[in-house]
Structure 1
Amino acid sequence: MTFPPAPRRPRPRPGPRTRPRLIATDLDGTLLRDDKTVSARTVAALAAAEAAGVEVFFVTGRPARWMGVVSDHVHGHGLAICANGAVIADLRDGHRIVRVRPLERDDALATVHALRAAAPGVSFAVERTEGIHYEPDYPPFHHDPGATFAPAEKLLTDHNESFYDQPVLKLLAYHPDQDPDAFLALGRGAAGAHAEFTRSSPSALLEVSGRGVSKASTLAHACEERGIAPEEVVAFGDMPNDLEMLGWSGTSYAMANAHPAVLAATTHRTWTNEEDGVARIIEELLSR
């Protein structure tokens, strides 16, 4: 296979010689274009994979309610792994959540306290199964309608709130001044005993999940249920929240636009998300 020139970025390299049984792909910065659309070429490649008997799993940090962008392109099983592994959702059934791996409330509170002490100026949001709620100082990245604004401690413990009994999927921690990678290291050092820390934003925004919860661990469970071994999986990603999944999968592709840690950790490269990097590799895999 002949690849196009790729000046000033890693050159794509061909991957496995045999067709995989499952393809796991991140969305933002990976499968989706920068405008958050799915290209016609990618739509066709996803459909061709399923027609050839290769299962495709979308594996994303997005909550289930933000999966409309790919709902029309899910095939076969209809499932997606969301919230960095905290949720499996059925995109064919109104994004219904079929499995939850929560962040326990005590661990969430311990994380809030540890990060407040370690990084003054941090602000939090709490992602639950039916919506997200914010501290007043948290930046308005994606303020959902109906969100409650209160200190994180209150959002996590107030029995009078209608959402109190909803499981916590993720705690989001934002800092206006920290370097993103340094903030990730700081978070893990300060509260890594209570939760899993990762990041996917270009800003200093930590995504905090329950202990043992990651894209990789939830994907591994889904594959085990299907009798699919890691070496039969091809995965695509671009940011630190993809690292565990890419390391677990038998074959891993970093997007050309990926974070340096992803480029260093993966076995193969593909084109950028703007260049249909995932679709191009799927086409190549199906031609074997």
Structure 2
Amino acid sequence: MTSAIDPLPLPQPLTPRLIATDLDGTLLRDDKSISDRTVAALAAAEEAGIEVFFVTGRPARWMGVVSDHVQGHGLAICANGAAVVDLRAGGKLLEVRPLDRDTALAVVRALRDAAPGTSFAVELTNAFHHEPDYPPFQLDEGSTVAAAEKLLHEEGSAPGPPVIKLLAHHPELTPDAFLTVARTAVGHLANFTRSSPTALLEISGLGVSKASTLALCCAQRGISADEVVAFGDMPNDVEMLTWAGTSYAMGNAHPDVIAAASGRTVANNEDGVAVIIEQILAGEQAQAPDGNS
């Protein structure tokens, strides 16, 4: 079935230097697969000299959905900006922007007061741990199950592995209502966002987001925001889509994402990212006086 949403035309001329794409609900189809069309579009962008960054809320160890298709574009911004990894090197961590453990503890205490019934999980650079009441969304084998206060406590003088994300779930509040409660209560301590259809919040260090880490990576490469095309579908993509010079909300996107993006494409199940990449490359070819891209 074809979506009623037609991709909006790109402003011409446009010669982006980097494509930044979210994964779940954006590049990936609902069954978590990546289509042959999308793989081909990413490869074609790379051949045209356009860098590709995967920008996701997933931790590095959950990047197997795309690691077989990275070709030359193996850099990923994971955990909503808290980690930069090289998928070509087996998910090697290149940079970490952690959440301070004392800050995480303060957030836990504040949310327990502001939204009783909240349960927590702690995402480290090397593991995932959770409280007993935390729902089994996608739990790792070998996880420690304990109260968040214990999970965040460091034994001895040696620092523990960095916390890259704190997760908070509420069994009754709506997702957007829970996000509002959290930002009101402790938005001055950390960055709060969400990407799940449930009331699951993703909490990073203050100032850490997909957008801020993408901006740092682009600055290292001499790439400006105007030279970036970004794609997303959920609230954790809003800042990135606002920052990028050209951005697209998927046909299946959250209303806040649609409002933030400069354009809109078809849904993830209809290869909306590939549709726009093909349009970009076709536009470049059409402008080349000798017919070459």
- Under TM normalisation by the shorter chain, which class is it? over 0.9
Amino acid at match of 2:214: L
Residues 77, 271 of structure 1: CA spacing in aligned structure 2 closer, same or farther, 3 A cutoff?
A: closer
| SS class of match (2:145) | coil
Can you give the 5+ residue segments of structure 2 that lack an aligned partner in the other structure?
284-293
**Contact 1:195–1:210 under 8 Å retained in 2:** yes
Q: Would you say 1:154 and 2:150 are equivalent positions?
A: yes
| Residue 120 of structure 1: aligned partner | 116
| SS class of match (1:125) | strand
Matches of residues 56-75 of structure 1 in structure 2 within 5 Å?
Answer: 56-75=52-71
Matches of residues 82-161 of structure 1 in structure 2 within 5 Å?
Answer: 82-159=78-155
CA distance in 2, matches of 1:193, 1:81: 24
| SS class of match (2:179) | helix
Residues 202, 112 of structure 1: CA spacing in aligned structure 2 closer, same or farther, 3 A cutoff?
A: same
Q: How far off its partner does 1:91 sit?
A: 0.3
CA distance in 2, matches of 1:25, 1:94: 20
Matches of residues 171-210 of structure 1 in structure 2 within 5 Å?
Answer: 171-210=166-205
Q: How far off its partner does 1:77 sit?
A: 5.2
Could you tell me which of 248, 252, 275 is aligned with 1:253? 248
| Residue 272 of structure 1: aligned partner | 267
- 1:225-262 CA distance string (max 9 Å, x none): 11001000000000000000000000010001000111
CA distance in 2, matches of 1:86, 1:148: 22
Q: How far off its partner does 1:277 sit?
A: 0.2
| SS class of match (2:89) | coil
Amino acid at match of 1:24: A
Amino acid at match of 1:16: P
Amino acid at match of 2:180: A
Amino acid at match of 2:129: H
**Contact 1:64–1:95 under 8 Å retained in 2:** yes
| Residue 238 of structure 2: aligned partner | 243
| SS class of match (1:216) | helix
CA distance in 1, matches of 2:136, 2:245: 38
CA distance in 2, matches of 1:11, 1:280: 10
Q: TM-score, normalised by structure 2?
A: 0.93
CA distance in 2, matches of 1:204, 1:26: 20
**Contact 1:5–1:11 under 8 Å retained in 2:** no
State, as a whole percentage, how many aligned pairs show the same letter.
68
State the 4+ residue runs in structure 1 displaced beyond 3 angstroms. Answer: 4-7
| Residue 27 of structure 1: aligned partner | 23
CA distance in 1, matches of 2:29, 2:247: 20
**Contact 1:125–1:152 under 8 Å retained in 2:** yes
- 1:30-77 CA distance string (max 9 Å, x none): 000000000000000000000110000000000000001111222335
Can you give the 5+ residue segments of structure 1 that lack an aligned partner in the other structure?
none
Q: How far off its partner does 1:15 sit?
A: 1.7
How many pairs are equivalent? Answer: 281
Q: Considering only aligned residues, what root-mean-square deviation do their CA atoms show, in Å?
A: 1.4
| Residue 278 of structure 2: aligned partner | 283
| SS class of match (1:279) | helix
Q: How far off its partner does 1:5 sit?
A: 6.9
CA distance in 2, matches of 1:24, 1:261: 19
CA distance in 2, matches of 1:12, 1:282: 11
| SS class of match (1:287) | helix
Q: TM-score, normalised by structure 1?
A: 0.95
CA distance in 2, matches of 1:244, 1:79: 20
Q: How far off its partner does 1:130 sit?
A: 0.5
